[in-house]
Structure 1
Amino acid sequence: MNVLFWHLHGSWATAFVQGKHRYLVPVNTGRDEWGRGRARTYPWPDSVEEVEVGALTDDDVDVIVLQRPAELDLVAHLRRAPRVYVEHNTPRGYAPETRHPMADRDDLTLVHVTHFNDLFWDAGATRTQVIEHGVVPPAVRWTGELERLAVVTNEPARRNRVVGADLYPRFTPVAPLDVYGMGVAGLSMDGVTTHDDPPQAAMHAEIARRRAYLHLCRWTSLGLSLIEAMQIGMPVVALATTEAVAAVPPNAGVLATRVDTLVEAARWLIDEPEAGRILGEAARRSALIRYGLDRFLADWDRLLEDTSCASR
C-alpha cells in the first residue's frame, strides 16, 4: 500500500514507517515543515520515499494520512485516495468545548494518539478512533551513574509554562538538569544545560546515564520521549496531568500535582539509585507492553486496510 504523509513529528513518524507499506514523504527545496523529506537524525527504512506532492496522481497513492488542516488543500488534486487525520495535540483555549478542525466530516477518520485527547476534543459526528503511541525500542538501558536529571522537550523557552520550563529552578537545587530537544538553546537558567536537537540514538545514550527523567508538562499530548525514557528503564518524576496518569503506573515513578512532592521524589532518586533501578524496571516492563511497536503497527495496518477497502 502507498501511504502519503508529512514528516512532522520525528519519533511518531519513525515508528509509523517501520510498517510493511511504501511511505511517500513530501520534500521541497527548503526542506521546511511542508517538505522535510526523510529524517536526518532518526533511522528510517528504504521503504520511505521522498516525493513532490503536486506531481502525484491518484494512481500513486492508496491512503493519505493528514496531520494539519492545511494539508487538505495540498492533496485536493488527489480525489480518490481516502483520508485519515491524526491528531497529535491536546485542544487549546477552553478545552472541554473546543471543536476539532475536522469536526462533522464524513469523508475521513480522525485518529487520536491518546484517550485523553479523544475525551477533550469535540469532533461532532466525525468517526474517531484511538491508536496509542508505539515506540521503536531504544538500544540503550538505564545506568543512572550521573547525579543529574534529564528532560526532553522542544522549544521550552517559548512554550514555558505549557511544558513546565518555569518549574526547572525548583529542581536545580536538587541536581543539575540536562534539557534535550529542538530549540532548547534559547533556554538560559542556572543549573540547566541544554543539548539542542541531538541525534536520537545519541540522546538516548546520554539520558540513560542520568538518575531520573522529569516530565513536567502541564498541558500537552503524551510525549514520546517519556515513553522512550521508560523503555530505557528510567524512573519517572512527572506531573499527574493529561495522559501521563495512564501511561506511568504507580510502581514506575512518582506522579503528583504538588511540585514539592516531585522535588522530594527527585531528591530521593538522586540519593537512592537502587530505588531508581526498581522503579525503572517497572517502567520498562509497562512501556514495552502498552507502547510496543508491534501493537502500534498492527493497529495502523487494520485502519489503513479498512480505510482503503471502504473507498473501493
Structure 2
Amino acid sequence: MDNASAVRIFTLSGINETVNYRITIFSLTLLYYGIILFVNFALIVIIALDENLHEPMYILLASFCINGLYGSTGFYPKFLFDLLSSSQEISYEGCLFQAYVMYSFACCDLSILAVMAYDRYLAICRPLHYHAFMTKRRLSQLVCFSWLIPLSVFSVSILLTSTRKLCSSKIQKLYCVNWLIVQLVCPDSNILSNTIVSYTTIFLYVVHGFFIMWTYMHLIKTCVRSKEDRLKFMQTCVPHLISLVTFMFVMLFDLMYMRFGSSSLPQSLQNFMALIFLLVPPVMNPLIYGFKLTKIRTRILGLICVQRK
C-alpha cells in the first residue's frame, strides 16, 4: 500500500521516570499478574469441572474471567519485559496488536456485562419464561455476540489505522492505544473513516450502557415487591452491579484523561491513571463473584476443606 506507514518501531515513553524503582515495580507487577492468572483461572476451572455450575450466569462469569486473562496478558508480559529492558520499544505490528487487545478487552467486558444484565432480567422479571428464553443455543449466541462484536469492530478500526502514514513514533503511554496511534498520523492524511468508525463504536457501546440501565430499572422495580426477589437481587445482581460500576468508572476515567487530561501531571500519576482499568477489574471481578455467589463460595470452601484433610 502506497500510503502505509514507514514507521516500523514505536517508543513507549511512559516508563521513563521509573528507572530508579524498576526492580521493585517488576517484582510487584509480577506478583500482581500472578494473582490475576490464579484467581481467574481458578474460577474458570471450578465452573468447568462442577456440573452444578453449568448454568447461564456461571458460564457468563467464566467468559468474564477469560476476558480478564485475555486483556491482562495483552499488557503485563510486555510491561514486565520493558521494566528489564534499557529501551522501551515495540514493533509497528506489535503496537497495533496490543492496541487491538486493549480496546477489544474493554468492550468485551461491557458486552458481557450487558448479557449478564439480560440474564438477570429474565431470571428475576420473567422467571416462568427463563428456561424457555435462556436455552443452550440462546446462551451460545449471546456469548458469541459478547466476543465477536467487539473483536470485529476493532479489527476494522485497527485495519484502517494500519493504512495511515505516521509522522512520529513516540507514544506517551505505557502501552499502545489506537487513539494515540491515530494522533501520530501525518497532517496530510485523511482520517475521516477512522473518525466515523470511532463514533460508531462509541454509539454502539452507549447503547449497551442504556440497555443495562433499562434492565436494572426493571430489576429494581420487580425486586421491591417481595422479600424473595430482594434476596435474589442481593445474591446475584449485587456482584454484577459492583463490576459494572467499577468498569464504567475506570473506563470513563481513562478515556476522559487520555483525551482531555493534562500532560503536566507527574508521570507516575499518569501511569497509574492509565493502568487503573488493568489493575482493578481483572482481580476484583473474580473475587467479588467468588465470595458473593453462594454456589461458587460453597465449592471453593469445599475444595479448601478437602486440601486440609
Structure having the larger proportion of residues in helix: 2
Same-fold call, TM cutoff 0.5: no
Higher-Rg member (1/2): 2
TM-score, normalised with respect to structure 2:
0.26
Indicate the structure whose relative CO is greater, using CA pairs within 8 Å and at least 6 residues apart.
Answer: 2
**Greater share of strand residues, 1 or 2?**
1
